Amino acid sequence: MSKNVKINAVENTTKLLEIVSREGRIGVSEVAEKADMPNSTAHDYLRSLDETGYLISNSDGYALSTRLLEHGARRRLDMEIYRTAKPQIKKLAQETGEHASLVIEESGMGILLATMMGDDAVEVVTHDGTRTPLHATAPGRTILANLSPERVEEILERHGLLQVTKNTITDREKLMSELETVRDQGYAFEKGEIMDGMRGVGAPIIRRDTEEVLGAVSVYGPTSRTRNKEFQEAVPELLIEAANVIELNMTSR
């Protein structure tokens, strides 16, 4: 088998997994149409993924199995940043009553590695493992603000400035100005740029001995509760304190 055939097989497999993930449950012909491939080819891939345990099937079509969750959960437990930050994420959720999260950068995207809900948190459609554009979130911008200019350019060239909501920053000059502000103040605000009706604050986690950007902590809540002065003054301080504790614990290990 040639190298190109092997690469195409990997690309087709990941494409089909992404389609099934996005649709929830889907039939062969629908997958084939969305993947722009013959029905027979789509069927062969789907059947192989079913046989290897990555998909499950019934009369209604194919859906993801929990096999990928197994791999992701194992990987997350192996990550020092997750183990170190988890207690602080829990504490932030308890202190604020809102959604508290740990976000890392992976392949130029923000990955929601852990999230916990406080007593007053509203239900939102998000889950651990969610990928978001870095420029569109408070934790993502704190990560971008502390990366090298060269790395920031790489990320923007690869992913662009996708408009997620009407409030998302899509102008490069405006984003660069915002990143400068974030560097100066040590945290970032986000006003409904990733999800309508939700606002957030993020602070970076930077390993003190190497200056490596490890990720960011954040707190999100509904606009009605997060636009007040108390939230905007108190939560950044809580986030910076939590990030400092994580940084110290990471450095001392």
Length of the chain: 253
Distance CA 81, CA 233 (A): 26
> For residue range 132-185, what is the model confidence (pLDDT) as tens digits?
999 999 999 999 999 999 999 999 999 999 999 999 999 999 999 999 999 999
Query: Between 187 and 233, where is the model more confident?
Result: 187
Confidence of residue 209 (pLDDT cuts 50, 70, 90): confident
| Domain 3-65 part of CATH 1.10.3080.10 | no
Q: pTM (2 decimals)?
A: 0.84
Q: For position 65, what pLDDT does the model report?
A: 92
> For residue range 69-128, what is the model confidence (pLDDT) as tens digits?
888 888 888 999 999 999 999 999 999 999 999 999 999 999 999 999 999 888 876 788
Q: For position 194, what pLDDT does the model report?
A: 92
Task: Give me the mean pLDDT over the 27-39 stretch.
Answer: 93
In this structure, what DSSP letter does residue 193 have?
S
Q: For position 125, what pLDDT does the model report?
A: 67
**DSSP code string of 52-72:** TTSEEEETTEEEE-SHHHHHH
Ordered by start, the domain boundaries in the chain are 3-65, 71-251
Task: Give me the mean pLDDT over the 36-48 stretch.
Answer: 93
Assigned architecture for domain 71-251: 2-Layer Sandwich (3.30)
